[in-house]
Amino acid sequence: MNKTAARERKWLIYTVHNFWKIISWFILRVFHFTKVINAKNIPLKGGYIAAANHSSFWDPPLMGIGSWRRVFRFMARDTLFNVPVWGWMMEKMGAIPVKRGAVDRDAWTRVIDALKDGWIVGMYPEGTRTPDGEIKAGRAGVGMMAYRAKCGIIPVYIHNSYKAWPKGKLLPKPFVPLTVIYGEPFTVEDLLAKEESKEVYRQITDRIMEHILKLRDDFTAPKK
């Protein structure tokens, strides 16, 4: 892709993404009284993995509504791109298709390239929505992508989305308050200095989950 085409694609991604962000923001504010905490922690430039807990279909719009100047791109099941209209919108929003139930190295490469190109890519280290609202252990894949992209990480904690729209429910439950909290970006330079291995991927993922859990614990701790 030449520079002109790349600029045009970037402009289109921002335009379509922010159009949906306006709609999402309205719905989430009106029907879920959504609060955003520490959006200032979202860097204004540079490639980052935004890593959050995953409880609900609400999580992608919740993760992305914190900044109008940055776009949060996401990985999405490849079959969704075949849905009329919606698939077209996902492609124009910069979603990255990934095959479910298979090792999709092409998708990994596209994610790593996006990070190196300066995009924020939203990821869920748990891999799938929690069935009971509890945060589960993260998978090593996010650690692998952080290692290969040599990028920073923005930890994100999403509160109450399980109660608003749990796995297995067709529609969300309205008027459940939601909160999204952005932690301070961090790097894993000490782990990037190690020789690449599955163990290093696991260590990076574990550190990411520690940051997400700390955001949860700080937010839910009894107020003094």
Domain positions in the chain: 3-220
pLDDT in the model for residue 223: 78
Q: How many CA atoms lie within 13 A of 47 on its CB side?
A: 16
**Nearest alpha carbon to residue 178 among 55, 7, 17:** 55
pLDDT tens over the chain, length 224 residues: 677 777 888 888 999 889 999 999 999 999 999 999 999 999 999 999 999 999 999 999 999 999 988 999 998 888 888 888 888 888 888 899 888 766 778 889 999 999 999 999 999 999 889 999 999 999 999 999 999 999 999 999 999 999 999 999 999 999 999 999 999 999 999 999 999 999 999 999 999 999 999 999 999 998 77
For domain 3-220, the CATH class is alpha beta
What is the Cα–Cα distance from 213 to 68, expressed in whole angstroms?
26
> Quick check: helix, strand or coil at residue 62?
helix
Say how many residues make up the chain.
224
pLDDT confidence of residue 5: 77
Distance, in Å, from the CA atom of 135 to the CA atom of 129, rounded to the nearest integer, reads 9
**CB neighbours of residue 202 within 10 Å:** 16
Within 13 Å of residue 51, how many CA atoms lie on the same side as its CB? 35
